[in-house]
Structure 1
Amino acid sequence: MPAAEHLLGRAGELARLDLVLGGASDCPSTLLVLGDPGIGKSALIAQAARRAAARGAVVLTTTGVPSEARLPFAGLHQLLGPVLPAAARLPRPQRDALLAAFGRSETAVGDIFAVALAALSLLRDCAGTTRVVLVAEDLHWIDRATTDVLAFVARRIDADAVAIVASAREAPRGAMADVLAEVLTLGGLDDVSAGQLVDASAPGLDAALRGRLLREAHGNPLALVELSIAWSRLPPGTLIASWVPVTTRLAHTFAARIDQLPGPCRTAVLVAALNDGPSLWEVLTAASLAVGAPLTSRALEPAIEARLVELAGGDIRFRHPLMRFAIAEGAALAERQDAHSALARVLPDADRVAWHRAAAASEPDEDVAIALDGSAARARRRGAVGVAVASLERGARLSPEPSQRGRRLVRAAELAFELGRRDVVQRLLDEAEQLPLDPLDRIRLQWRRGLGDGRWRDVAQTRSLAELVDRMHRAGELDLALDALLTVAIAGWWTSADDERRATMADAVDRLGVPDSDARVLGVLAFAAPVERGTRVLAVLRRVRAEELDDPGELSLLGAAAGVLGAQELSAAFLDPAIRRLRAQDRLGGLADALISRAWAAWHLGGWDLAASAAAETVRIGVQIERPAAVAAGRLVDGALAAARGAPAVADAIAADVEATFRPLGATSMLALATVVRGLAAQADGRAGEAYDLLLPLLRGGDDGARVIVGQAGIAVFVDAAVQCGELASARAVVHSLGHLAARCGSPTMSAHLAYARPLLADDDEAEDLFVAALGSGLAAWPFLDARLLLAYGSWLRRQRRVGESRIPLRAAREAFDALAADPWGERARQELRATGESAGPRAGAAHERLTAQEREIAGLAARGMTNREIGQHLYLSPRTVGSHLYHVFPKLGITSRAELAGLAGLPGLSGRPESA
C-alpha cells in the first residue's frame, strides 16, 4: 500500500483541507468531509492533520463509534484529553462544569451550555499561542452531548486560531446541521489512481480479478485495498460471485478474515469491537475472562498481521470503524453476550458497566434495570438528556414487572419532552399506556399526554389539568403539581388564555395550600391571573428581600412575575442579582430569560442603553441556544428603542418579522408587544391615525385583561394619537375602563400611564390640576413618560398664552429627551420652544451614541478596567473579537488609548452591564 504521505488521487482535496486547517484568510474555519464508508475520509483528514501539526498546530482528535454514542461527552473527553490540564486556568464555574461532564466531579451539570462555554474557553486559551485543529471523525457516531458542544464552538471561532474538520457519511442533523460552513464531498478515485492503489496493495493480482475489482469497486479506496488483499490470497481460477453492495461485501470480507483467526485472538478482537473505549488493558483483561486463560498483546498478533487492528500507546484501534461494526454484527448472539458480560466485570465506570450488563442480559433483570436508572440519572445531571432517555428505555425493556416497565417509559417520555422530541414522547407514552401503571404514573402519563403542544388552549384541557394537579397533590407529588401549573401558566400567558382558563389555574394552585412564599406559586398567579391576583402577588413580592435569596432561578422567576405585573423597579431588584449568578454559573437558558425581563424593565425605567445591552445579549444567547422566543422578545426591545430614537422604519421591520413568525403560533402576547412597537413607531413618524388604529383594539381589550396588561406600555402612545386625531371621547372611554383594571391588578406601570393620560384628555378647566398632580405622582421613575408629560404640559401652557411659564417644562422635556436620545420627541420640544420665541437648535449627538449596542457594552466593561480576556469570558466572545470591537470604538469616541477610555466610564451608555455589578 502506498505511504500515507502520498495519497493517490486526492491532491485537490488535500489542498482544500490545508487552506482550512492552515487558517487562510479567505477560507472558513470549519469543513465537513462527506462520503460513503471506505471512501478515504479518515486517510485524507489524517494526512491533512499531520501536515498541520508539522506547521506547528495542536491537533486534537475524536472518533465516533456506535457503542460510545450513548455515553455523554465521551467524544469530548477524547477530544480535549491532551489539553485538559490547561483547564486549571479556566474560571472556576467553567472548570467545574467540564470536570463534572467527564465524571471527575460530583457536581451536577445543570446546563450543557456551561460545558460548551468551558470547552470554548479552553480551546481559546490553547489557541492564544498556536493554531488548534479539531478533528471529529465519524460524526454520525459521536454522542449527542459532544456534537452539541462542537456546534456551540463552531459558531464562535471565526476570530480565533481554531479550525474544525469533521467527517460523516451524510449531512449531519441536529446541532451540527448548519454550523460546518464548507462541505467537501469525496467521490471514488479516478481509474488511474484506483489501479495504482490496487497494484500497491496486491502486486501480481490476477488480471481478470483486477479488472473486475476496478470496475465494481467504483473507486472506493477501502474496497480496493481490502478486497484486493483478500482476492490475492484466493486459489488460482477462483470465481467471484455476482457483486453485492460494497459495504455488505466488505462486512463479509471482514467476517471471513476474523474467522481465520485463532480462537483467543478472535475473542479479543470481538471484545475490542464491543468495548466503548480503546484501552488495550480492558480488552485483554475481559478477553482473558471470556476464554478462561490469561492473554497478552501477543494474542492479537494475528489480527495485526491481518490488518484488522493496530496497537499504539496502550490503545487498540481498528483500521477502519466499519471493521468494528462488521465484526460485532458478524458474531453470534451468544458470543456477543459473553463478551459484554466479561467487559462488565472489568470496567471501572458504572455507566459503562450498566450498558454492558444490559447488552449481556438474555432475559428481564431488575438489577440491571436499576443500574440503568442510575446511569440515566447521572446522564441527566451531566446534561446528556438523550442518553438518559436511552438508558430508561433500555431499562424498561429489562424490567420484569409491567408496572416498573411503564414507570421507566413514562420517565423516559418526560425527558424526551425536554429534548423537544415529541415523536419519541408519543411513542413512549403509547407503549406505557398499555401497561398496568401505578396511579401516580398514570397521572404523570396523562399530564404529559395532555400537555400536547404545550399550550393548553381550551377550557376542557385546562380543567383536566386542574384535576391532574389535584391528583398529583393527593399522591404526594407537590413539586410535580407546582411545576406543571407553572409550565402551563407561562404558556397560557404567551398564548393569552381566556379568563376561565386563567381562573382554573389560579384556583388549582390555591387548592394546593402552598404558602405564597414559594416562587412558583407567585409565578403561577402572576402569569395565569395578573388581573385577579396581581395585587396579592405584588404585596408578597414587596415583602421579599432579594438579598436573602440564593437561587438565581427563583430570583429570575420573581423578577419576571414583578415585570408582568408592571412593577418594574421591583423586577429589576430581583433580576440584577439573578443575572450575576446565572452568568457566573454559565446557565445560558436562565440567563436569556432574566435578561429579556431586565431589558423591558430598563426600557420602562429609562435605562435605554442598559435595555439595548440586555436585549443585544438576549438575542445573541437566544441564537446560540436556539430559543426563537427570546430572540424575538429581544428584537422587540430593539424595535421600541429604534422607534423612540428616530428610526421608525427599523422598528416596523422588526415588528413585521416577529409577527410573521409568531402569528401562526397563536403567541398573542408576543403579537401584543409587536403592536406596541408598531404604535410607537407610527407615533414617532407622525402617523397618529395609524397609531390610534393599531392600539385601540389592544387596549380596549374586552374581557382579555391579561392581554391589555401586556400592551400597557402603549397607553401613553394611544392617548397621544387619540388627541392628535380628535378621538377624545373614545380615548376617555378606554382610559376609564383601564382605571378599573389598574385598581384590580395594581400595576404601577399602568397607573403611571393613566396619570399621564388624564390631563391630556381633560377639559381646559380641569387640565392644570391634573397636570400638576401627575407631575407630583412619582413619574420621574418613568423618565420617557415624565418627559412627555412635561412636553404636554408646556404645550398646554403655551396654548393658554402663558408663554413664559411654558418654557420651564418645555426646557426640562427637551433635556430629558436629549438624555434619552429620543430625537423625535426632542424635536417636538424644540418646536414648542421656538413657538414661544426661544431659540432651540438641534441636539448635538453624544459620541457614545455612534456605537452599536455590543460596542457600548464592550467599551463600558473596558472602561471599568476589565481586560479583553475578562470581557470575552463575560460576553462569551473571543479576546480577539473583543479587541476588534475596541479597534472600532476608539475612533468613534475620539480617543486613542485604553487609558482615555477609562476616563469616559461615567458617560451614559458606558455603564457596561445589564446588572448592578
Structure 2
Amino acid sequence: HRDAAHRLDPLGDPALLRRAARVLGVGTTASGGADELLDIGDRVRFRHPPVRAAVYGAAVPGERRRVHRALAEATDAGTDPDRRAWHRAQGADHPDEGIAAELEGSAARAQERGGLAAAAAFLERAVGLTPDARRRADRAVGAARAHHLAGASEAALALLAVAEAGPPDEPRRARTESLRAGIAVAAHRGASAPATLLGAAERLAPIDADLSRDTYLQALFTAVGALPDWEGVTQVAAATRAAPPASGEPGEPRAADLVLDALSRLYTQDAPTAAPALRRAVAAGIGEDGAQAERLRWQWPVNLFAMALWDDAAARDLARDHLRLIRASGALALLPPALGTSTMLLLFEGDLAGAERLNEEARSYAAGADVWTASATMTQGGNLGLAAWRGDEEETERLAEAVAKDAAGRGEWRMVELGHWVRSVLYNGLGQYERALDAVLRAGADHRAPGVRGVLWAPLELVEAAVRTGRRDLASRTLERLSASTRAGGADWGLGLEARCRALLSEGEEADRLYRAAIERLGRTRMRVDLARAHLLYGEWLRRERRRTEAREHLRTALGLFTGFGMTAFADRAARELQATGETARKRNAGTAEELTPQEARIAGLARDGLTNKEIAARLYVSPRTVEYHLRRVFAKLGITSRHQLGERL
C-alpha cells in the first residue's frame, strides 16, 4: 500500500506518504522489502524507475481507489484543495455530486493558472461523477471546450457525444453545435460551419442574448477563413447585423460586442465608416480587462482590426500579447493563427531570423496534438513568406504550389490568396512586374465592393506592378480604394504607404514631395522593409530624373537595409540601380559566423560535418533547393567558395 501510495501521488512528499499510510493502517517502519524499492529522504523515490509502473500495474482497481481515498484524507483541504479533489475523484466508485463540484472548482483555478489541459482533465472526471443527467450533459460541453482549446479534439468530440445524449435542452444544443463547428474548422473540415453557427445563433437569440451574439461572432470569424468566395463572407457579415442587442447596461458593451460590431462592419462597409468601430475594438483589445477565457475568444480578430487601421504599433503589441495569453493559458488550438500573424509582422519589420524562429515553433507544434492539421498549412505559409522575402524564386514557386494545393483541399481559401500575394512581393523585388501583376490580381486585390476583400496588403503590390507595366488606370483605381483605408486609419504606416504609392503615379515636384513624405512617415514605424522599399523607389525615380548624386544616397540606404534583412531580390535590384548611376555597389567583406541567421548556421554546421544537401534537407524538413540557397548565402557572407573552408570560418 505504501508503494502504491507513492505511485499514485507524483510529489513524493514523505509527510503525505506517512499520513496516508496511517489512514491505511500501515506502519511507517519499512517491511516486506520496501527499503529495497524506496529511497525516503526529502522526497520519496523508487530506486528503480521501472518498478514504479510495475507496482501500479499490479494493483487492482479496488486497491487503487482505496489508496486514492487515503491520499485524499491525508491531504489538507485548505492548502491543497485541488490535489485532494483529484484523489477523492479517483477514489470514488460511484457518482458523487459533491466531488464533481469540487473538481469543477479545481478546473476553474487550473485555468486561471494557465493549466488548460489540467482543467480539461478535472472537468472530464467531473462529468463521469455527476449523477444528474442534465447537469452531466452541461458539464460535458464545458469539458469538451477545454479539451478543444488545449488541442485535444478527439477527446472534445467524445465529450460532445456525451452532451448530445443528455436530456433535450436548446441552449446546450446550440453550444454543442457551436463547439463542434469550431472543432471542424480547426481540422479544416469547416465549409458548412458558418451556416451551422448562424442557425445556432438564431435559436439562441430568445434564450441567451450574449451567447447568441458570441455565436454570431464565431460564425463570421469562421466564414472569413472557410468560405471560398467573398460574397458569402459578406452575406454572413450582413446576417450578424441581426444579432440581438447586448444584454449589458447601455453605454457599457462587452469587449466581445465591440468585436462583433467591428468585424461585421469590416466586411460590409467602406473603411471610413467602419474605422470608428475598429478603433473601439482595438482599444478594448489593448486593455487588460476581461477574463482570460473571454479574451482568448476574441483577441485574434482585434489583431486584424489594428492592421486594417494600419496601426503598426498596436498590431505588434496585440500580436505579442495574444501569443503570451495563449502560451500562459495552454490554449494550443489557438496558436497557429497567432504564430502566423506574428511571423508576418516580423517579415514586415525585416526580422527574418525572428520570423524563422516562430515558424520553427509552429513546425514543432504541428507534430503534437491531434488538432495540429491547422499548423501544417501555417508552417507552409511561413516557409513561403521567408522564401519570397529572401528572393528565392524556385523555392517560392515550389512552396506556393504546395500551399495552394493543400490549402484549397482543406478549404483555407484565405491562405490561397495569401500565397499569390507573397509571390507578387517576390516578383516586384525581382523586377518581373508582369508576373507580379498576374499574381497580385489572383490575390483579390482588384475588388470594387465595400469592405475588406483579399489580402490587406495586396493593393500595394498591385499599384507598383501596374505602374511598371503601363496599367496606370488600374493603379489609380486601386490607389483610391487604398487611400480610403489608410486615411481612415490615420497612422504613419498607412499614410506612408499611400504616399509611396501616390508618388509612383505622380511627376515632378509632387512626386519628389510624396517620396520624401513616405520616407519620413515610414521612418517612424517598425516596418523597416516598407521604409527600404520607399528609399529604393525614390532612388530609382531620382536616377530617371538624372539626379544621380541624390539617387545614390537613397539607393545605398536601400541596399544596406535589404542586405541586412537578407532580402536578396530587392538588394540585387537596388545594386543594379546603383550601378546604373555610375557607382559600383561595394562587395561585402568576408564576414564572421555571427552574421549568419539561425537557419544558415544550422545548415552550415551540418555541411561542415559532411552531410550532403539531401541529407541536410531531410534533417531540417526543407527542400534540397532551400539548402543550396542558404549555402550560397553562407559562402557569400563568409567570403568562401567551398564546403572545405567551412571548418576554418565557423
Q: Same fold (TM over 0.5)?
A: yes
Going from structure 1 to structure 2, the CA distance change for 1:337 and 1:522 (only over 3 Å counts) comes to: closer
1:312 to 2, 22, 39: 39
The residue type equivalent to 2:462 in the other structure is F
How many Å apart are 1:499 and its aligned residue?
0.9
Give me the whole-angstrom Cα distance separating, in 2, the residues matched to 1:406 and 1:562: 37
How many Å apart are 1:776 and its aligned residue?
6.2
- CA offsets, 1:271-300, max 9 Å, x none? 67766676676566556555xxx54246x6
Residue 677 (1) aligns with residue 425 (2): no
How many Å apart are 1:596 and its aligned residue?
5.6
Matched position secondary structure for 2:167: coil
- Contact 1:337 / 1:360 at 8 angstroms: preserved in 2? yes
Aligned residue number for residue 467 of structure 1? 202
Aligned residue number for residue 560 of structure 1? 303
Going from structure 1 to structure 2, the CA distance change for 1:448 and 1:702 (only over 3 Å counts) comes to: same
Give me the whole-angstrom Cα distance separating, in 1, the residues matched to 2:578 and 2:119: 68
How many Å apart are 1:452 and its aligned residue?
4.1
- Contact 1:698 / 1:711 at 8 angstroms: preserved in 2? no
Counting only pairs closer than 5 Å after superposition, residues 141-160 of structure 1 correspond to structure 2 as none
Aligned residue number for residue 431 of structure 1? 162
Counting only pairs closer than 5 Å after superposition, residues 590-739 of structure 1 correspond to structure 2 as 597=341, 600-601=344-345, 604=348, 607-608=349-350, 611-626=351-366, 627-628=375-376, 631-632=379-380, 634-643=382-391, 647-656=392-401, 658-659=403-404, 661-702=406-447, 708=453, 710-712=455-457, 714-728=458-472, 731=475, 734-735=478-479
Counting only pairs closer than 5 Å after superposition, residues 499-538 of structure 1 correspond to structure 2 as 499-505=234-240, 508=243, 520-521=256-257, 523-524=259-260, 529-532=265-268, 534-535=271-272, 538=275
How many Å apart are 1:526 and its aligned residue?
5.3
How many Å apart are 1:650 and its aligned residue?
4.7
Matched position secondary structure for 1:664: helix
How many Å apart are 1:373 and its aligned residue?
2.0
Aligned residue number for residue 624 of structure 2? none
How many Å apart are 1:404 and its aligned residue?
1.5
- Contact 1:701 / 1:707 at 8 angstroms: preserved in 2? no
How many Å apart are 1:448 and its aligned residue?
1.5
Residue 357 (1) aligns with residue 60 (2): no
- The structure having more radius of gyration, on CA atoms, is 1
Give me the whole-angstrom Cα distance separating, in 1, the residues matched to 2:156 and 2:489: 38
The residue type equivalent to 1:394 in the other structure is R
How many Å apart are 1:724 and its aligned residue?
4.3
Matched position secondary structure for 1:312: strand
Give me the whole-angstrom Cα distance separating, in 1, the residues matched to 2:214 and 2:384: 28
How many Å apart are 1:734 and its aligned residue?
5.0
Going from structure 1 to structure 2, the CA distance change for 1:470 and 1:535 (only over 3 Å counts) comes to: farther
- Contact 2:533 / 2:558 at 8 angstroms: preserved in 1? no
Matched position secondary structure for 1:453: helix
Counting only pairs closer than 5 Å after superposition, residues 113-124 of structure 1 correspond to structure 2 as none
Counting only pairs closer than 5 Å after superposition, residues 252-271 of structure 1 correspond to structure 2 as none
Matched position secondary structure for 2:144: helix
2:185 to 438, 450, 454: 454
Give me the whole-angstrom Cα distance separating, in 1, the residues matched to 2:461 and 2:593: 25
What TM-score do the two structures reach when normalised by structure 1? 0.51
1:819 to 545, 550, 560: 560
1:344 to 65, 72, 85: 72
How many Å apart are 1:565 and its aligned residue?
0.1
How many Å apart are 1:502 and its aligned residue?
2.7
How many Å apart are 1:311 and its aligned residue?
4.5
How many Å apart are 1:567 and its aligned residue?
0.9
Going from structure 1 to structure 2, the CA distance change for 1:516 and 1:814 (only over 3 Å counts) comes to: farther
Matched position secondary structure for 1:710: coil
How many Å apart are 1:731 and its aligned residue?
4.8
Aligned residue number for residue 210 of structure 1? none
Most deviating of 581-590 and 530-539: 581-590
Give me the whole-angstrom Cα distance separating, in 1, the residues matched to 2:415 and 2:557: 29
The alignment of Structure 1 onto Structure 2 pairs a total of residues equal to: 561
What TM-score do the two structures reach when normalised by structure 2? 0.68
Matched position secondary structure for 2:166: coil
Residue 807 (1) aligns with residue 555 (2): no
- Contact 1:723 / 1:760 at 8 angstroms: preserved in 2? yes
Going from structure 1 to structure 2, the CA distance change for 1:655 and 1:427 (only over 3 Å counts) comes to: same
The residue type equivalent to 1:347 in the other structure is T
- Contact 1:568 / 1:601 at 8 angstroms: preserved in 2? no
- CA offsets, 1:58-86, max 9 Å, x none? xxxxxxxxxxxxxxxxxxxxxxxxxxxxx
1:774 to 502, 514, 521: 514
Aligned residue number for residue 526 of structure 2? none
Seq. identity, %: 22
The residue type equivalent to 2:418 in the other structure is L
Matched position secondary structure for 1:815: helix
Give me the whole-angstrom Cα distance separating, in 2, the residues matched to 1:512 and 1:746: 33
Give me the whole-angstrom Cα distance separating, in 2, the residues matched to 1:417 and 1:694: 36
- CA offsets, 1:309-356, max 9 Å, x none? 745326585983465345422x7x5x6655554443233343443344
Going from structure 1 to structure 2, the CA distance change for 1:493 and 1:460 (only over 3 Å counts) comes to: closer
Give me the whole-angstrom Cα distance separating, in 1, the residues matched to 2:174 and 2:252: 25
Going from structure 1 to structure 2, the CA distance change for 1:725 and 1:268 (only over 3 Å counts) comes to: closer
- CA offsets, 1:134-173, max 9 Å, x none? xxxxxxxxxxxxxxxxxxxxxxxxxxxxxxxxxxxxxxxx
Going from structure 1 to structure 2, the CA distance change for 1:407 and 1:585 (only over 3 Å counts) comes to: closer
Gaps of 5+ in 2: 367-374, 523-529, 602-633, 640-650
- Contact 1:505 / 1:528 at 8 angstroms: preserved in 2? yes
1:393 to 124, 128, 138: 124
Most deviating of 351-360 and 363-372: 351-360
Counting only pairs closer than 5 Å after superposition, residues 145-544 of structure 1 correspond to structure 2 as 286=20, 289=23, 295-297=26-28, 301=31, 303-304=32-33, 310-313=37-40, 315=44, 320-321=51-52, 323-325=54-56, 327-329=58-60, 333=62, 340-348=68-76, 349-436=80-167, 440-454=171-185, 457-458=191-192, 460-467=195-202, 470=205, 473-474=208-209, 478=210, 489-495=220-226, 498-505=233-240, 508=243, 520-521=256-257, 523-524=259-260, 529-532=265-268, 534-535=271-272, 538-539=275-276
Give me the whole-angstrom Cα distance separating, in 2, the residues matched to 1:775 and 1:573: 25
Give me the whole-angstrom Cα distance separating, in 1, the residues matched to 2:213 and 2:150: 21
The residue type equivalent to 2:74 in the other structure is V
How many Å apart are 1:701 and its aligned residue?
4.6
Give me the whole-angstrom Cα distance separating, in 1, the residues matched to 2:323 and 2:592: 25
Give me the whole-angstrom Cα distance separating, in 2, the residues matched to 1:748 and 1:509: 37
Aligned residue number for residue 164 of structure 1? none
Give me the whole-angstrom Cα distance separating, in 2, the residues matched to 1:441 and 1:729: 54
Give me the whole-angstrom Cα distance separating, in 1, the residues matched to 2:571 and 2:165: 68
The residue type equivalent to 1:463 in the other structure is L
Aligned residue number for residue 852 of structure 1? 596
Matched position secondary structure for 2:137: helix
- Contact 1:564 / 1:710 at 8 angstroms: preserved in 2? no
Give me the whole-angstrom Cα distance separating, in 2, the residues matched to 1:744 and 1:583: 31
Matched position secondary structure for 1:428: helix
Gaps of 5+ in 1: 1-266, 798-802, 858-888, 895-917
Give me the whole-angstrom Cα distance separating, in 2, the residues matched to 1:371 and 1:602: 44
How many Å apart are 1:831 and its aligned residue?
5.7
How many Å apart are 1:669 and its aligned residue?
2.6
Going from structure 1 to structure 2, the CA distance change for 1:377 and 1:389 (only over 3 Å counts) comes to: same
Matched position secondary structure for 1:567: coil
Most deviating of 441-450 and 673-682: 441-450
Going from structure 1 to structure 2, the CA distance change for 1:851 and 1:429 (only over 3 Å counts) comes to: same
Cα RMSD after superposing both structures: 5.0
Give me the whole-angstrom Cα distance separating, in 1, the residues matched to 2:285 and 2:428: 41
How many Å apart are 1:679 and its aligned residue?
1.6
Give me the whole-angstrom Cα distance separating, in 1, the residues matched to 2:352 and 2:569: 18
- Contact 1:759 / 1:771 at 8 angstroms: preserved in 2? yes
